[in-house]
Structure 1
Amino acid sequence: LNRASVENLLTEIEILKTIRHPNIVELKDFQWDGDHIYLIMEFCAGGDLSRFIRTRRALPETVARVFLQQLACALKFLHDRNISHLDLKPQNILLSAPESPQLKLADFGFAQYMSPWDEKHVLRGSPLYMAPEMVCRQHYDARADLWSVGVILYEALFGKPPFASRSFAELEEKIRSDRAVELPSWPQLSLECRDLLAQLLERDPRKRISFECFFAHPFVDMEHIPGPESLGKATDLVVEAVRKDQEGDAKAAFSLYRKALEYFVPALHYESDARRKEAIRAKVRQYISRAEELKVLVTSSNKNLLEKGNPARELLKEMAKDKPRLCAALEVASAAIAKVRAGGAAAGGGGGGGGVAEPAGRRRELLHAEVSASPGTPGCPPGLAPEALCPRSLPTRSRP
């Protein structure tokens, strides 16, 4: 080993032996002899991110986002300790397993202790992922890592880095250019994703997104990163949602269900046990169904529904807009109820053959309740009484 290689290894050992993070590869031990230094690292059976992308050509935005969130967690941990990696690239990002992998940042040979205001001049890293200010031999600081994150995200989404070239001369020309990095129009990406890419791949480090803004960016969304606490947060919110639902506060219940679902998604990503994952999915489907019902009640176009005497009937009318015969039947029922309340007798429904066929679902459940409540109706017609998904059927204390 030459002097530079030894220094890089010693730097890596110094950094890795002092840090422990689920998204940073762990240094188990190290040994040396007269010619070599041996690093004994955590085993990562999933290979590296470069191969993962290459075998799939490109990654869906949802998958790329999960990896980005994990990388952001590792960088936040390092940034809080004034450590810059300075050689971020897919080859230095390992995956814990072939299935449901967890990202592990590795190879800290070029890493440096750098506070946000420190500047360096020595060329470090891999040119394809290196920030322009480093290639152009200018001053650079910790924001060079953010450019590399942008290149990695670009490659994950589009299958190749933005400055892919056949020679170093061609690569250097592209990096030195003043032209803004253009994002391909396909595949279609969310506005949040494109916004983050544009801010990461800003050539001028003074205009590039800061670490603070990167960690707070809605596409990174560190609050909802999959982790062991995701399910607990989701469950706490859904318990409160059920309570508000039972109290009749539809607006608060809908808001809480929606917030809970934002934690259930990362909880599903984090859960590795197939049976537990399916159990969570089953509960999530219930909560989504109830949230959709509440949304009808709280949307601005239906805000008057909450002020009516029978919200279930009004909800049924709203859900029956595509069924003219059902709407007409509901109007007859409403008129009959009004007449009874006024002291009159309800008119008969007219004979058979006028029934309304309705498939199973929430609308059928509401129709059953309406028929049961209507005057002159002798009970519930057979087959119209599946147990409705309502607040009473949702657990208020047990974990999903």
Structure 2
Amino acid sequence: MAGRPSSAPSAIPQLKDFVFTEKLGSGTYATVYKAYRKTGVREVVAVKCVLKGSLNKTSTENLLTEIELLKKLKHESIVELKDFRWDDGYIYLIMEYCSGGDLSHFIRKKRALPEQIVRRFLQQIAQAMKFLWDNNVAHMDLKPQNILLTSTTNPRLKLADFGFAKNLYDGDTLYTMRGSPLYMAPEIICHGTYDARVDLWSIGVILYECLFGRAPFASKSFKELGAKIWDQKSVELPYGVDISDKARDLVLRLLKRNPDDRISFEEFFAHPFVDMCHTPNSKSLEKATALVTKACEHDKAGEYEAAVRLYFEGLEYFIPAIHYEEDSNRKNILRRKVKEYMKRAEVLKQLLKPGHLPEHRLQDIKHELTNSTNQQSQQSTVSDKLSTLMELCNDHSEFLAALRLIKAAYHEIEKEEFEQALKHYEMSLGALIKLLPGEAAGPRKDMLNIEIQKWMSEAESIKSYLSVQRLKTNDSSQEEEETHQSYMNQCIVQ
């Protein structure tokens, strides 16, 4: 298939049946433009225009590999190659257009991302990687710049740029330098021999950057980067940033310098933080519906224990189904159904002995349901003032660490995890009060002074609430003991 013939490359490439609009990006030998079809449905696409004259043997092989792989790699988490054409000056790869930009830009804009968003993003990366792994393909250049977002609201991730990708088979070892230094595995930089496990290291670096807002080995030179990566000291996570044990475990297991010590692909896909069983996809609603249908049958038959467990299992698929659904009306319908099933499960739970429904998981479902109502901004629970303060403190790591604890406390209050929230308030306030006297006068210090007073008041309120709750618990326990003793006395008299 041919594009517009030309004796020499034009300043702006042109392609029959397409109108080029803005330039999306450029590299060593290719420029990517946003374009749309002139006829029929005005489909928006991204056209990667490769200048033939810039190609050497290696880049030609990479381009051919990319075309060959993308023609067969059809998956919802991989950018689709719709067509490719050529003329005298260019080779054109007509790709699926992703309007949300790349993950690197998203991280820079948001800085550190909330763990729930990171987990959802990781699940989508894991889906793509499982598909590649099943097809004996290694990407070899995983980095935020090569991961695209479908939109700016409720985005989904898609892997892109397969120029360094390689068909691999068990035991295959490579020797050519591939990838981007900041995301390269140690065995590439220091040994020059490696296999598909380098993708796991790259995922670890991406996960770290998403959680903490920066890559773990940021350096000023390639030599400095190599020294940091091959340092025998274990990778350390930033102080003062609160993440779950599951997230912590996965990051540290991915960032093992020795590939033999690194988590395997099988272990990665099965890791509880990845939780691929509940990844939002086209099958989520089908699985949820099947489970709640069985739950309703047991419910009608009076088999409440089985009904509750099936309702619970179904709800864990309904939440991913809500995240996967793009139509706002259908999202709202699903939310209403989830609330109905949740309410029924809680009613049945009262008929059963304690422990038949894991309470912490039910709270997780409630929290997920609340968050799904505002997918555009998962940080809506954090005040605008806190966001502004974090921007003002971006150059002060200790202030920033303390503010991240406040941010964690906001999320915990929303989940009614008051004891953990109080712990984070106290840790943060202790640090801020020590740091503040050394801060120079100015807007940042003024704003911190005001907010610290509010946070101290909020911490005291939580402390008072917890004291009342403990008092109620003690009173309740005493009342139960007195009732039990009275019953025992009656039994003795009889």
TM range (shorter): 0.7 to 0.9
The yes-or-no answer on 1:103 pairing with 2:144 is no
- Matched residue, 2:9: none
The residue type paired with residue 109 of structure 2 is T
SS where residue 142 of structure 1 aligns? coil
- Matched residue, 1:278: 332
C-alpha spacing 1:302/1:83, structure 2 compared with 1 (3 Å): closer
Contact persistence 2:197–2:264 (CA under 8 A): yes
Q: Distance in 1 between matches of 2:151 and 2:319?
A: 21
Q: Distance in 2 between matches of 1:296 and 1:143?
A: 49
1:17-53 superposed Cα distances (whole Å, 9 cap, x missing partner): 1221111111122233444322221111111111111
Deviation at 1:290, TM superposition (A): 2.2
The yes-or-no answer on 1:237 pairing with 2:300 is no
Deviation at 1:10, TM superposition (A): 1.2
The yes-or-no answer on 1:50 pairing with 2:104 is yes
- Matched residue, 2:266: 212
Structural mapping, 1:60-209, within 5 Å: 60-209=114-263
Q: Distance in 1 between matches of 2:287 and 2:356?
A: 31
Q: Distance in 1 between matches of 2:60 and 2:79?
A: 20
- Matched residue, 2:425: none
Q: Distance in 2 between matches of 1:30 and 1:171?
A: 37
1:193-249 superposed Cα distances (whole Å, 9 cap, x missing partner): 111111111111011111111111111111111112211211221121122222222
Deviation at 1:266, TM superposition (A): 0.0
Q: Distance in 2 between matches of 1:231 and 1:35?
A: 48
1:104-163 superposed Cα distances (whole Å, 9 cap, x missing partner): 111011111111311111111001001010110342110110110111111111111111
Deviation at 1:293, TM superposition (A): 2.9
Q: Distance in 2 between matches of 1:176 and 1:254?
A: 51
Q: Which runs of 5+ in 2 are unaligned?
A: 1-54, 358-471, 484-494
Deviation at 1:185, TM superposition (A): 4.2
Q: Which runs of 5+ in 1 are unaligned?
A: 304-320, 332-400
- Matched residue, 2:39: none
Q: Distance in 1 between matches of 2:113 and 2:353?
A: 36
SS where residue 286 of structure 2 aligns? helix
Q: Distance in 1 between matches of 2:226 and 2:185?
A: 11
Contact persistence 2:349–2:356 (CA under 8 A): no
The residue type paired with residue 293 of structure 2 is V
The residue type paired with residue 346 of structure 2 is E
- Matched residue, 1:254: 308
Deviation at 1:298, TM superposition (A): 3.2
SS where residue 17 of structure 1 aligns? helix
C-alpha spacing 1:52/1:301, structure 2 compared with 1 (3 Å): closer
- Matched residue, 1:32: 86
1:258-285 superposed Cα distances (whole Å, 9 cap, x missing partner): 1011001101101111121112112211
SS where residue 180 of structure 1 aligns? coil
Contact persistence 1:116–1:141 (CA under 8 A): no
1:64-87 superposed Cα distances (whole Å, 9 cap, x missing partner): 111111111111111111110100
C-alpha spacing 1:186/1:256, structure 2 compared with 1 (3 Å): farther
SS where residue 148 of structure 2 aligns? strand
* The structure with more strand, counted as a fraction of residues: 2
| Structure possessing the higher radius of gyration over alpha carbons | 1
Stretches (4+) displaced over 6 A: 321-324
Contact persistence 2:177–2:192 (CA under 8 A): no
Q: Distance in 1 between matches of 2:169 and 2:224?
A: 33
C-alpha spacing 1:140/1:299, structure 2 compared with 1 (3 Å): farther
Q: Identity of aligned pairs, percent?
A: 58
Q: Distance in 1 between matches of 2:67 and 2:138?
A: 15
Cα root mean square deviation, aligned? 2.3
Higher relative CO (Cα under 8 Å, sequence separation at least 6) belongs to: 1
The residue type paired with residue 17 of structure 1 is K
SS where residue 29 of structure 1 aligns? strand
What is the TM-score when the length of structure 2 is the normalising length?
Answer: 0.60
C-alpha spacing 1:141/1:299, structure 2 compared with 1 (3 Å): farther
1:291-340 superposed Cα distances (whole Å, 9 cap, x missing partner): 2233344344799xxxxxxxxxxxxxxxxx9999xx9xxx9xxxxxxxxx
Q: Distance in 2 between matches of 1:16 and 1:249?
A: 50
Q: Distance in 2 between matches of 1:62 and 1:219?
A: 10
257-266 or 241-250, which deviates more: 241-250
SS where residue 257 of structure 2 aligns? coil
C-alpha spacing 1:299/1:167, structure 2 compared with 1 (3 Å): farther
C-alpha spacing 1:286/1:302, structure 2 compared with 1 (3 Å): closer
Q: Distance in 2 between matches of 1:297 and 1:197?
A: 41
Q: Distance in 1 between matches of 2:139 and 2:202?
A: 10
